[in-house]
């Protein structure tokens, strides 16, 4: 007996699928493997015959679920980049070599993008800094080192903290984790490199008070006692 009510038939099919899910999935998988070429040609033919209709449906679905699709694509891209970082970096380098762009034009394009997305970029930067202030500070130091054309490496404040045994390199007192900062021995302004050999642990207040002066200059000024 054929059911004439479409809704009842859909409900019946769904219920039947839930009961025999594994069996039906296995049967479908075997069929797809055995008729791969036939199914491919069938899909291509159907797409060619209903191209405009399918595009319209896709546009409607994209507009209806815009934020969900953006978030899904963003998560996929982030996951893919983490799993294929070196491959992607090499691809970008090769692309830039094959398609060199005028530096002025590239800078102008970047500036235009920043101007158009200023609030969004600032919000993301604040969120990143709030989530991990130590990493944000380290990234800032790396950018400054690159700008000054001095040697640099990625520095982890936890490694510096353990190496210096939690002692401030300026005032020689114990540093709590909440007050920890990484201080240049030879300052940035005097072209000091951003390397483990040129950094020390310091209280945040000592680091700010020191500025670009040496510890001896600070002692003469009476700003801290050894």
Cβ count near 202 (within 10 Å): 26
Element (H, E) at 60: helix 51-64
Listed in order, strand segments (DSSP E) in 86-129 are none
Q: What is the mean pLDDT of the chain?
A: 83
Helix, strand or coil, per DSSP, at residue 103: helix
Q: Which residues does 162 contact at the CB level (< 8 Å), separation at least 6?
A: none
140 pLDDT higher than 60 = yes
- The pLDDT of residue 149 is 78
- The Cα 42–Cα 47 span in angstroms is 9
- The pLDDT of residue 226 is 40
163 pLDDT higher than 90 = yes
- Which of the two residues, 169 and 222, has the higher pLDDT score? 169
Q: Which two tokens stand for residue 205?
A: 């207040």
Q: Which two tokens stand for residue 214?
A: 């040496």
To the nearest 10°, report the CA torsion of 31, 34, 39, 40.
140
Q: Per-residue confidence at 78, pLDDT binned at 50, 70, 90?
A: confident
pTM of the full predicted structure? 0.42
- The pLDDT of residue 165 is 93
CB 196 within 8 A of CB 169: no
Is the Cα torsion angle 202, 206, 207, 213 positive or negative in sign? Answer: negative
What are the tens digits of pLDDT across the range 200-222? 999 988 888 877 765 534 433 34
**pLDDT-wise least confident of 149-163, 185-199, 202-216:** 202-216
Mean pLDDT along residues 152-157? 84
Mean pLDDT along residues 62-75? 86
- The Cα 175–Cα 171 span in angstroms is 10
- Which of the two residues, 138 and 35, has the higher pLDDT score? 35
DSSP letter string over 141-156? HHHHHHHTT--B----
């Amino acid at each position: 007996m054929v059911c004439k009510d479409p809704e009842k038939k859909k409900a019946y099919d769904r219920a039947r699928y839930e009961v025999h899910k594994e069996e039906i999935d296995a049967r479908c998988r075997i069929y797809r493997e055995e008729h791969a070429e036939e199914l491919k040609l069938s899909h291509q033919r159907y797409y060619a015959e209903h191209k405009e209709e399918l595009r319209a449906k896709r546009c409607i679905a994209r507009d209806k679920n815009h934020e969900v699709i953006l978030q899904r694509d963003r998560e996929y891209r982030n996951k893919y980049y983490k799993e294929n970082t070196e491959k992607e970096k090499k691809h970008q380098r090769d692309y830039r070599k094959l398609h060199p762009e005028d530096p002025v034009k590239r800078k102008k394009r970047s500036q235009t993008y920043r101007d158009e997305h200023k609030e969004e970029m600032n919000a993301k930067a604040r969120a990143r800094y709030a989530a991990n202030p130590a990493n944000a500070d380290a990234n800032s130091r790396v950018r400054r080192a690159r700008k000054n054309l001095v040697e640099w490496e990625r520095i982890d404040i936890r490694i510096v903290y353990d190496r210096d045994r939690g002692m401030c390199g300026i005032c020689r007192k114990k540093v709590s984790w909440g007050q920890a900062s990484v201080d240049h021995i030879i300052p940035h302004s005097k072209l000091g490199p951003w390397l483990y050999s040129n950094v020390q642990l310091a209280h945040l207040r000592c680091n700010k008070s020191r500025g670009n002066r040496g510890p001896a200059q600070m002692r003469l000024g009476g700003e801290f006692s050894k």
